[in-house]
Structure 1
Amino acid sequence: MATAQATHEFPRELNDVPGWFQPLDQVLFSWLLEWQENDDTRGDLLELGAYMGKSAILLGHHLRDGETLTVCDLFGADAPDDANRAETARSYASLTRLSFERNYLSFHDALPTVVQAPTSAITGSVAPGSCRFVHIDASHLYEHVHGDIGAARELLRPDGIVVLDDFRTEHTPGVAAAAWEAVLNRGLRPVCLSSRKMYGTWGDPEPARERLLAALRGRDDCGVGVERVAGHRLVRARAKGRTVRPPSLPPSRHRDAPDPAAPARTADGSGAPVPGQTRQPGAPRPGTAPRTPPRERARRIALDVLPPAVTRAVRRHRATRRARPDR
């Protein structure tokens, strides 16, 4: 009963969604996507590894007519090898497709295209050269990240952006090895580094790099510097002080969020999910509810930055307490 009660809670704002998508990276995602849009760069969006949907929700707000968001994750399906199976059981045991869909549909009218499979299958579902933005946040094992980077290169248009999560976290050395190998030996050109993510392109990084540098220098909540690494010039962004102002996003529809167990709503009224179909960015949403109290928001943000095992334990404890009638 406690688990079911916790599962049915709908997020009220993006930072209510569990995950490790930091405000600084929310800023960088939004800036790069808007820069592409202002530059009239068209293409689909792709995320390899979705967890509970936090970054996918932001990506969905940047879809334009004719573009598709595709999300690829195991969502509880069998992993392709023993090492990946152990990693999934250790870090993502609570991840289900239903949880992802509930969160996503709290903010959007229709689901993205969902590929429930190992990320090695993505090149069979997305056309080569069709994407303008790819976020890699799936397995942390070197062999899998190496393959995901190769898939991103195949699926991105020449000037597209790839984002590699956890490229410098101490418990993910396989990501670090694959990321810097891509820079040194596979033609990837870094644009920017945050504390968790590497942003790069196989095209010319200079236009995005220079404009991003100017934009970050204009903010009082971000620190910025320029580094030279192995012949590459790149922007290094960091949070200044304790908080970074996240981008302004349309609020959740939490009070009338649809149940993913039922057919998602579509424009033609058929009830069949239409992959990639979303409302226009910036369009108003009905039924705005009160904002999350500051103390509760702080608790949820704290949970976002804890290791996955600790986060799961805390959430289970809180759900159990809510389920007890004598509390």
Structure 2
Amino acid sequence: MPPPAGFSDVKGWFWPADQLLFDWFLKRQEKFPEQAGDLLELGAYLGKSAIFTGGYLRPGEEFTVCDLFDSPAPDDPNSAEMDRSYSTLTRRGFEANYLAFHEELPTIVQAPTSVIASRLKPDSCRFIHVDASHLYEHVHGDIEAARELAGPDAIVAFDDFRAEHCPGVAAAVWGAVATMELKLICITGTKAYGTWGDAEPVRAELLEWLKSRTDLWHGVEEVAGAPLIRIDGKKAKAPAPPRPLRPVAPPERPAEPEPAAPVPVAASQGLLARVLGGRRRR
């Protein structure tokens, strides 16, 4: 695969509204030194959201990405899901894309996401993106792992929680709200954002920020006994994208031939007269 010339060339589903929210949540954490911790992504595809998230890694922190990539799936339903939706996914493709934007790869765990809780320390992560399997049993396990690994006030983003082809994700996320004390802060068309910490300060600050955005519609309603911010990002203007380390120069255009020199009018008239004269003599 040729290296991507820009962020838009990386294949994946990471829409402008969610780029804005990732940027807002991760930058907010920079204002609170006590909210230290590592970054974690469960499910990476070809690296679009990982490339974006990796730009917020701070000194002394670790970014871990866990994905099967091209390894065998742990069960038949997961194997069928991989064949159906991620047949082009390879670790080599992910690494090539990531290294086009960052000097070093994240820590890669090429395995089912069910192993991640045994690979990282409890309470060690400040931001977790759950975007692996869409099957209920796997998503439920990912949420349990995220709760164990999340530090105080960590933010957890869940992908595809409302897509019609992923009812298992919706069941797992809302089940965690009902039974695992997950507090949702906001939702977009594709992702839900929550915490096991104190959601109120984050929600209040997010509402103030949303009031300043003319490209994002938002509303608030009570869901499961708590306010939930709904965000419509159809007109969202994405933040500045990550820049490739070594921009690929556009291909050179072939030189256009120089136009022929115009024939002087007098010479062309003389040539025409000679041609016509020759025809008359015949």
Q: Distance in 2 between matches of 1:255 and 1:134?
A: 29
User: What does 1:41-190 align with in structure 2 at a 5 Å threshold?
Assistant: 41-190=35-184
Name the residue aligned to 2:228.
234
Larger CA Rg, structure 1 vs 2: 2
Amino acid of the structure 2 residue aligned with 1:65: P
1:125 Cα deviation from its structure 2 partner: 1.3
Indicate the SS of the match to 1:98.
Answer: helix
Name the residue aligned to 1:251.
243
**Deviations 1:84-125 (Å, cap 9, x if unpaired)?**
011001100100001000110010000000000000010121
How much is the aligned-residue C-alpha RMSD, in angstroms?
1.2
| 1:28 paired to 2:21 | yes
Name the residue aligned to 2:201.
207
Aligned length: 249
Q: Distance in 2 between matches of 1:15 and 1:126?
A: 31
Residue identity (%): 57
Structure 1 unmatched runs, 5+: 1-6, 257-288, 291-327
| 1:19 paired to 2:6 | no
**Most deviating of 84-93 and 231-240:** 231-240
1:14 Cα deviation from its structure 2 partner: 2.0
Amino acid of the structure 2 residue aligned with 1:160: A
Q: Distance in 2 between matches of 1:160 and 1:255?
A: 34
Amino acid of the structure 2 residue aligned with 1:37: E
CA contact (8 A) 1:11 1:254 kept: no
Q: Which runs of 4+ in 1 moved over 4 A?
A: none
Indicate the SS of the match to 1:135.
Answer: strand
Q: Distance in 1 between matches of 2:64 and 2:162?
A: 26
CA contact (8 A) 2:184 2:228 kept: yes
Amino acid of the structure 1 residue aligned with 2:16: P
Amino acid of the structure 2 residue aligned with 1:245: K
Select 1:219's aligned residue among 213, 219, 223.
213
Q: Distance in 2 between matches of 1:13 and 1:25?
A: 18
1:213 Cα deviation from its structure 2 partner: 1.1
Structure 2 unmatched runs, 5+: 251-282
TM-score (norm 1): 0.74
Q: Distance in 2 between matches of 1:166 and 1:71?
A: 18
Instruction: For CA contacts below 8 A with separation 6 or more, give which structure has more relative contact order.
Output: 1
**Deviations 1:36-58 (Å, cap 9, x if unpaired)?**
11122210000000001000011
TM-score (norm 2): 0.86
